[in-house]
Chain A
Amino acid sequence: MVKVMDIPEEEFIYPGTRACAGCSMALIYRIALKALGPNTIITVPASCLTVLHGMQGFCTTKVSVYHTPFATTGAAASGIVASLESKGLSDDINVVAFAGDGGTVDIGIQSLSGAVERGTNFIFACYDNEAYMNTGVQRSGSTPPGAFSTTTPEGKTGYKKNMAKIMEAHGIPYVATAISSYPLDLYEKFQRAKGITGSKYLHILAPCPPGWGYEPKNSIEIGRLAVQTGFWPLYEVIEGKFILSKDSRRFLDASKRKPIEEYCNSQKRFRKISKEEIENHKRYINDLWNEIGQRLEEI
């Protein structure tokens, strides 16, 4: 179990990035790079992380970053890995793709699916802020039901894609969910992924103050609510074996979960959410945990 003291003091992101105040993606990136270390090459599609990386003429990180067009993150990582393999360097360097939810579950899903189907030795990390935040809060396939976006002014209908499950169906050696509010868990998962050969996928929920409509100081608290309401279970699937993460274990007991209303009420994007959509959320959470319970029993 990782302790705070185990996390390296060295920072891999220089101070003064262009990320918004309270951005949890910046926090996720910070923790991830500490776990990955200096022998890392990052590839990033068009996304909020492009903004964090700033303008031509500077490199915001202490590791190299290759920016690639929106749909190509999985392919770009494949190209870097293939080149490193042809040079005999692939064992020494982590190749990590960092994409937003649009770049993962929508426009990026094809090249990601192709890359993991080929068994590419890399980590794909999706930081999921549940809409196209970089372009001004348009809905994505990962936007939850009832959430306002500029293209769903009455709230989105239909649930969000369960991308972790889609990736699990590819039969890859490592799939995990995480969130910025539990940094030790996040750190440990990146460390674990780093040690596994093959395709690794991390889906990380990333609360977004301007997009979700809350005060920047509340990012950690809102992320915790996502876990505590059962909306965002933290788990790993290692070589097909399901492991419920420590911070989510007690929510297997439905009575321990906070009501989803508390989570929705904390964010302006759910201002117009209907009672029906709230019921849908409850059903979804219930089904999710029933399935988790079954999977734990099978072990």
Chain B
Amino acid sequence: MYGGMSCESNNYGGGKISLTITEPKFKTLGQKTKILTGNHAAAHAIRQAKVGVISAYPITPQSPVVEKIAEFISKGKLDAKFVKVESEHSALAVCCAASVTGSRVATATSAHGLELMYEMLPWAAGNRLPIVINLATRSLGAPWSVWTDHSDFITIRDVGWIQFMCESNQEIYDTNIQAFKIAEDPQVFLPSVVAYDGYILSHTMMPVTLEDQQDIDAFLPPLKHHINLSDISQIKGVDPVTTPHIRNRGEEGTAPGYYEYRYALQKALENSIDIIQQVHDEFAQKFGRSYGNGLFKTEQVEDANVIIIAMGSVASQSKIVVKKLRREGLKVGLVSLKLFRPYPAKYLKELLKEKETIVVFDRDIGYGYEGVLCYELKSALYGLKKSPFIKGFIVGLGGRDVTNEHIIDGVNRALNQAKTGEISQTTEFLGLKLDQLSDYDESTFFEEVKK
């Protein structure tokens, strides 16, 4: 098992801030440090963010988040309304409505739950509601699978949400606290999703430092919303039909068209990168924990000519591989993407402009094309005078273990292809076990498995 009970700090090098990190050891766990699962780390962050309304529906592997929140409320540790809805679609609809009524809100989900919420995702973004979703990532059926991959997380990339991916339970807690502050920044006002690998983090216990409530309160002041229907002296029509054109309201000036609304959404996302970094740095100054530059974490990138790019659990695994390959003399480094949307293209381009070979490991796939991280990176590096050789691999869909050997295999394959310069357009899956299927035939597989 990678990462599991490791006490290593998640503080990769290469960040803007250099801080001395106190690495928690089991023998010297501070009073503030608890041993928590990723789900419970998320629940504690939501409690300490003092949300007013929570709404959720159970789904594996997310459910312990909301069970814990229900426990907090019943024990009087959180003064919030928990709307126990009949579907995830309703969960996010409740969150949107509670947000326009002026409350800080949160929910949590996985896979099919997120897909059922889909209609409400662009609604929340378009209305600029600072909702935070915790997502314990899980693969999408059919066939049914409850195990992790990043398919669910990837499907919501075009709806206007800020998307974070975490690598440790401490990072889940810290990112949640930051996510509320970022989402509620007057220059941002965007919903955000804090994701972490289902089971691998959601159900694995790690030491997590829970900060004192007064310190969290000072860092995250109460929400000052741009909309608050509970103030009935302010009469508002929220989200009516909006035309393709600017509308003249006479003495009251002009009303924007849909196009202007959506332009403003894109600009808010683009500009949020600065706020995301500011909030990350402020958090690091105050609490002594940082995660690269707040956008991505790097590991031995500076002198590396081979770079691995991955997200979440795959990045954690790759970190071990980097150490191993370095011992063998390969100048390899790692970029672990923390911020997936807005995509930090400019920063990646600057970081990677002189690298020779980049190997991207996707625990997702853009079906019909290739891994999403891979093709987005290719797009981000477009226009470099000397393009690095970029090779992507699919790994670990549906919870298939991603091992050191898979990552090393991918690096070697990429280096071999880089030598010949032959750019393969075929999507390569690592860790497939077709050889263990006695009579695998691509053309009849679908019929065979039904027998």
Binding site for B on A (CB under 8 A): 38-41, 43, 50-51, 53-69, 71-72, 74-80, 82-87, 89, 93, 110-111, 113-114, 117-118
B218: Cβ under 8 A from any A Cβ: no
Which residues of chain B are near A67, meaning CB under 8 Å? Answer: 237-240
| CB nearest to A74 among chain B residues | B90
Q: For the complex formed, measure the closest distance between the CB of B241 and the CB atoms of chain A, giving whole angstroms.
A: 6
| CB nearest to B245 among chain A residues | A55
Known: A64-B229, A64-B232. A56 touches B97 (CB 8 A): no
Known: A66-B239, A79-B53, A111-B86. A87 touches B97 (CB 8 A): no
- Given A41-B101, A56-B247, 13 further pairs, Cβ under 8 A: A41-B232, A55-B247, A56-B241, A56-B255, A64-B237, A78-B83, A79-B99, A83-B105, A85-B81, A87-B102, A111-B93, A114-B90, A118-B84
A–B pairs, 8, beta carbons within 8 Å: A56-B255, A56-B256, A58-B249, A72-B90, A82-B94, A83-B53, A83-B102, A83-B230
Contact between A71 and B95 (Cβ–Cβ < 8 Å)?
no
Q: Return the contact of B100 from the options A51, A66, A71, A117 (Cβ within 8 A).
A: A66
Q: How far is the CA of A96 from the CA of B234 in the complex (A)?
A: 17
| CB nearest to A86 among chain B residues | B52
Contact between B230 and A84 (Cβ–Cβ < 8 Å)?
yes
Q: Return the contact of A89 from the options B230, B235, B247, B254 (Cβ within 8 A).
A: B230
Which residues of chain A are near B96, meaning CB under 8 Å? Answer: 68, 76, 79
Which residues of chain B are near A86, meaning CB under 8 Å? Answer: 52-53, 79-81, 103
Q: How far is the CA of A66 from the CA of B93 in the complex (A)?
A: 12
Known: A66-B97, A79-B93, A83-B101. A72 touches B81 (CB 8 A): no
Q: How far is the CA of A208 from the CA of B256 in the complex (A)?
A: 32
Known: A55-B240, A64-B235, A118-B84. A43 touches B256 (CB 8 A): no
Residue picked from A56, A77, A114, most chain B C-beta under 10 Å: A56
What band does the interface of chain B fall in when counting residues whose beta carbon is under 8 Å from A? 35 or more
Contact between A69 and B235 (Cβ–Cβ < 8 Å)?
no
The 6 A-B residue pairs with the shortest CB-CB distance in the complex, in nearest-first order: A57-B255, A79-B97, A114-B86, A83-B101, A72-B93, A59-B237
Q: How far is the CA of A79 from the CA of B99 in the complex (A)?
A: 8
Q: How far is the CA of A53 from the CA of B249 in the complex (A)?
A: 15
Q: How far is the CA of A39 from the CA of B233 in the complex (A)?
A: 9
Q: For the complex formed, measure the closest distance between the CB of B78 and the CB atoms of chain A, giving whole angstroms.
A: 11
Contact between A80 and B97 (Cβ–Cβ < 8 Å)?
yes
Q: Return the contact of B232 from the options A38, A53, A74 (Cβ within 8 A).
A: A38
Q: Return the contact of A55 from the options B97, B242, B252 (Cβ within 8 A).
A: B242
Interface of chain A: mostly helix, strand, loop or mixed = mixed
Q: For the complex formed, measure the closest distance between the CB of B210 and the CB atoms of chain A, giving whole angstroms.
A: 23
Which residues of chain B are near A50, meaning CB under 8 Å? Answer: 240-241
Which residues of chain A are near B100, meaning CB under 8 Å? Answer: 66, 80
Q: How far is the CA of A56 from the CA of B260 in the complex (A)?
A: 12
Contact between A69 and B119 (Cβ–Cβ < 8 Å)?
yes
Q: How far is the CA of A38 from the CA of B89 in the complex (A)?
A: 30
Q: How far is the CA of A63 from the CA of B120 in the complex (A)?
A: 24
B236: Cβ under 8 A from any A Cβ: yes
Known: A82-B81, A87-B102. A43 touches B240 (CB 8 A): no
Which residues of chain B are near A51, meaning CB under 8 Å? Answer: 241
Contact between A78 and B85 (Cβ–Cβ < 8 Å)?
yes
Contact between A78 and B238 (Cβ–Cβ < 8 Å)?
no
Q: For the complex formed, measure the closest distance between the CB of B231 and the CB atoms of chain A, giving whole angstroms.
A: 9
| CB nearest to A83 among chain B residues | B101
| CB nearest to B100 among chain A residues | A66
Q: How far is the CA of A118 from the CA of B90 in the complex (A)?
A: 13
Q: Return the contact of B234 from the options A40, A61, A64, A79 (Cβ within 8 A).
A: A64
B60: Cβ under 8 A from any A Cβ: no
| CB nearest to B229 among chain A residues | A64
B219: Cβ under 8 A from any A Cβ: no
Q: Return the contact of B235 from the options A62, A72, A79 (Cβ within 8 A).
A: A62
Known: A55-B247, A57-B249, A118-B83. A39 touches B241 (CB 8 A): no
Q: How far is the CA of A62 from the CA of B237 in the complex (A)?
A: 10
Q: How far is the CA of A111 from the CA of B81 in the complex (A)?
A: 18
| CB nearest to B101 among chain A residues | A83
| CB nearest to B94 among chain A residues | A79
Contact between B235 and A80 (Cβ–Cβ < 8 Å)?
no
Contact between B87 and A110 (Cβ–Cβ < 8 Å)?
yes
B12: Cβ under 8 A from any A Cβ: no
8 A Cβ contacts from B298-352 to A:
none
Contact between A57 and B247 (Cβ–Cβ < 8 Å)?
yes
Known: A56-B255, A110-B86, A113-B86. A80 touches B240 (CB 8 A): no
Contact between B242 and A110 (Cβ–Cβ < 8 Å)?
no
Contact between B55 and A82 (Cβ–Cβ < 8 Å)?
yes
| CB nearest to A38 among chain B residues | B232
Q: How far is the CA of A65 from the CA of B119 in the complex (A)?
A: 20
Contact between B247 and A110 (Cβ–Cβ < 8 Å)?
no
Which residues of chain A are near B239, meaning CB under 8 Å? Answer: 66-68
Q: How far is the CA of A267 from the CA of B399 in the complex (A)?
A: 60
B123: Cβ under 8 A from any A Cβ: yes
B98: Cβ under 8 A from any A Cβ: yes
Known: A38-B232, A79-B97, A83-B53. A66 touches B86 (CB 8 A): no
Q: Return the contact of A87 from the options B55, B84, B103 (Cβ within 8 A).
A: B103
| CB nearest to A45 among chain B residues | B93
Known: A66-B229, A79-B98, A86-B103. A59 touches B93 (CB 8 A): no
Q: How far is the CA of A66 from the CA of B232 in the complex (A)?
A: 13
Residue picked from B95, B237, B249, most chain A C-beta under 10 Å: B237
Which residues of chain B are near A38, meaning CB under 8 Å? Answer: 232
Contact between A83 and B237 (Cβ–Cβ < 8 Å)?
no
Contact between B84 and A72 (Cβ–Cβ < 8 Å)?
no
Contact between B237 and A65 (Cβ–Cβ < 8 Å)?
yes
Residue picked from B52, B94, B230, most chain A C-beta under 10 Å: B94
B145: Cβ under 8 A from any A Cβ: no
Q: How far is the CA of A84 from the CA of B101 in the complex (A)?
A: 7
Q: Return the contact of A68 from the options B81, B85, B93, B234 (Cβ within 8 A).
A: B93
B243: Cβ under 8 A from any A Cβ: yes
Contact between A56 and B242 (Cβ–Cβ < 8 Å)?
yes
Contact between B98 and A39 (Cβ–Cβ < 8 Å)?
no
8 A Cβ contacts from B29-52 to A:
52
Q: Return the contact of B101 from the options A71, A75, A80, A111 (Cβ within 8 A).
A: A80
Contact between B85 and A71 (Cβ–Cβ < 8 Å)?
no
Q: How far is the CA of A111 from the CA of B87 in the complex (A)?
A: 8
Which residues of chain B are near A60, meaning CB under 8 Å? Answer: 237
Q: For the complex formed, measure the closest distance between the CB of B81 and the CB atoms of chain A, giving whole angstroms.
A: 4
Q: How far is the CA of A219 from the CA of B372 in the complex (A)?
A: 57
Which residues of chain B are near A41, meaning CB under 8 Å? Answer: 101, 229-230, 232
